[in-house]
Structure 1
Amino acid sequence: MRNTRALVMMVVAIALASLAVIMAAQWINAQAAGNISKVAVAQNDISLGARINPDMIRMVDWPAGATPPGAINDPKLLAGRVTRSSVQRGEPLLESKLAPPGTQGGLSAVVAEGKRAMTVRVNDVVGVAGFALPGNFVDILVNTQEENLKAQGSHEASISKIVLERILVLAVAQESSRDETRPKVVNAVTLELTPEQVEKLDLARSVGTLSLVLRNQVDPDPAKTAGATKASLLTMPAPPRPAAPAPAPRPAVRQSAAGPQGPKVEMIKGLERSSQQF
């Protein structure tokens, strides 16, 4: 009898323990499910300006507390969207990497709102030996002549000056892929500029020769330079300024032949009167 009662107690204990384990597992799974969300990532590498189709993406589990800002959790929102930057395989598709809905594919989808794309001709030297790749920032240098000094026939008319800074390279030649790391020598570079910068660049390439200067991508500080001339290049002293003309001499005051006239004193001594000139 005692053995039967002990056996029943053991069965009941095992059943209660199993039930507790099942309930705990369900509770843990429910908690885990609440901390997981679905995020769209690239199935393969997606190039800049490509139109997204369902074969390019897949949905993966992502911790809800670590979801990147702008992540897409509904694949329907990606239908027909165009990438404005390259996306690597397994990388989340973010709104910041996509052009606005309705944008057509191509380089025009990459140009930021309010900006313009302009292409300039370069050679292997001007193009920073092919290291100016899409996604890099460059400064634009122009070598020209100062009109006033040129009109005077001065040898100091030549000047080199940075005219545009931190300009984004959108494409080199006909390629806009940003995942290239090897240099590529091309004959044209497409830059992203504001309308005012477009005007400056168009004028600069018509008045002189252009050079691209590769700069650090995280350096936002402007270069405050006055430009380089032959004198500053060779550390020559500045030419002396012409001396100011001497003032005209004042006209001399004429004096009479008798010399300067002093005060005249009249003296009376008794009945005699005389005068004396000093």
Structure 2
Amino acid sequence: MRGRNLLIVGLAVFLGLIAVYLANSYFSGVEERQTRAAEANQLAQIVVATQEFQFGTALATTNLRLANWPANSVPQGAFVSIEEATRGGRVALRPIAIGEPILASKVSGEGGRATLASILPEDLRAVAVPVSAVTGVGGFVRAGDVVDVLLTRQIPGDGSTSTDKMTTVVLENVLVLAIDQIADENQTEPAVGQTATLQTDVVGAQKLALAREVGSLSLILRNVENQDMGGTRTVTSSDLGGAGYYIAARTTTPTTAPAAVAAAPRSSGGTAAPRRASGPTMAIVRGVESTTYEVKRNGGY
């Protein structure tokens, strides 16, 4: 009996030790996970905006502040001090929202100015094309939009006429940098401009320069998420429908103008009165009818 009790006590102690070991392992694992999470979420301080920044807004101590940010997710190009962000008179090159980190890619360099050239990638160019209310989509093309560029011109060839036109897509998925002299992407109200500045490569700029000389250009808006390229074709007048209809040229036959005839005086009854003879006359009576003939001056009838 006593041996059985000792066995039970020993078993209980053994099970207790196992429980303590498992509990210690569990809590140790929790502490380690919490420690790793604390290290991963260690905060850093970066410079953020305290007001809305537009294109050309100068960075100053009055519109910047330091904010805590997870150290493992600090954006590339972020400033860690207000002195560094304002050094050299930096200005905003892109719109910046309140609380958004100030990044080097969105501001000019030291002593920089808000120029269009300062926001161009190194391998791209800016080229201007003329637009109007029609070719500029009624004024809805604004800075920051993405467009395709169409060229409408006459079909080449000796047999083409002024009505033989075709339209081709010159460039696709082109970023609009500015309309007239407005490069602010927050200006979304429709406004009819006269010039659109587009971002493209060197070959694209050459195409646009040539297209301006050979025909008329039009912009068409596209969804910024639509990155599909190609699949376009040339459209001609035959694609507009009405094939088979043809109007032949009209020919006119020249006619001689009739000789002028003096209008005969009319009687009061509305019928033309008999013409009065200008010289001597002779009357011939045949039965009951009398006919008057004018005698020619040389004696002939």
* TM-score, scaled to structure 2: 0.61
Counterpart of 1:134 (choices 121, 139, 143) is 143
Counterpart of 2:204 (choices 193, 197, 205) is 197
Contact map agreement 1:136 1:168 (CA 8 A) in 2? yes
For residue 72 of structure 2, what is the aligned residue in structure 1? Answer: 65
Q: Deviations over 1:233-278 (max 9, x none)?
A: 21738xxxxxxxxxxxxxxxxxxxxxxxxxxxxxxxxxxxxxxxxx
* Unpaired runs of at least 5, structure 2: 1-34, 245-301
For residue 296 of structure 2, what is the aligned residue in structure 1? Answer: none
CA distance in structure 2 between the partners assigned to 1:60 and 1:163 by the alignment: 47
CA distance in structure 2 between the partners assigned to 1:33 and 1:157 by the alignment: 68
Residue 158 (str. 1) matches residue 174 (str. 2): no
CA distance in structure 2 between the partners assigned to 1:133 and 1:45 by the alignment: 19
Query: CA separation of 1:235/1:217 partners in 2, compared to 1, >3 Å: closer, same or farther?
Result: farther
For residue 228 of structure 1, what is the aligned residue in structure 2? Answer: 235
SS in 1 for 2:52: coil
Contact map agreement 1:123 1:186 (CA 8 A) in 2? yes
Q: Over aligned residues, Cα RMSD in angstroms? A: 2.6
Residue 45 (str. 1) matches residue 16 (str. 2): no
CA distance in structure 2 between the partners assigned to 1:51 and 1:236 by the alignment: 61
CA distance in structure 2 between the partners assigned to 1:123 and 1:77 by the alignment: 44
For residue 106 of structure 1, what is the aligned residue in structure 2? Answer: 115
For residue 181 of structure 1, what is the aligned residue in structure 2? Answer: 188
CA distance in structure 1 between the partners assigned to 2:169 and 2:242 by the alignment: 20
Letter in 2 for 1:158: K
For residue 218 of structure 2, what is the aligned residue in structure 1? Answer: 211
Across the two proteins, how many residue pairs are aligned to each other? 206
Instruction: State the identity %.
Output: 33
Query: CA separation of 1:155/1:120 partners in 2, compared to 1, >3 Å: closer, same or farther?
Result: closer
CA distance in structure 1 between the partners assigned to 2:108 and 2:239 by the alignment: 47
For residue 260 of structure 1, what is the aligned residue in structure 2? Answer: none
Instruction: Using CA pairs under 8 Å that are at least 6 residues apart, name the structure with larger relative contact order, 1 or 2.
Output: 1
Query: CA separation of 1:192/1:33 partners in 2, compared to 1, >3 Å: closer, same or farther?
Result: closer
CA distance in structure 1 between the partners assigned to 2:109 and 2:79 by the alignment: 14
CA distance in structure 2 between the partners assigned to 1:66 and 1:191 by the alignment: 34
For residue 131 of structure 2, what is the aligned residue in structure 1? Answer: 122
Q: Deviations over 1:52-78 (max 9, x none)?
A: 333332111122234334322233432
For residue 90 of structure 1, what is the aligned residue in structure 2? Answer: 99
Contact map agreement 1:49 1:107 (CA 8 A) in 2? no
* Unpaired runs of at least 5, structure 1: 1-27, 238-278
Q: Structure 1 stretch 127-136 or stretch 103-112: which is displaced more? A: 103-112
CA distance in structure 1 between the partners assigned to 2:140 and 2:150 by the alignment: 16
Contact map agreement 1:70 1:94 (CA 8 A) in 2? yes
For residue 10 of structure 2, what is the aligned residue in structure 1? Answer: none
SS in 2 for 1:197: helix
CA distance in structure 1 between the partners assigned to 2:69 and 2:137 by the alignment: 41
SS in 2 for 1:162: strand
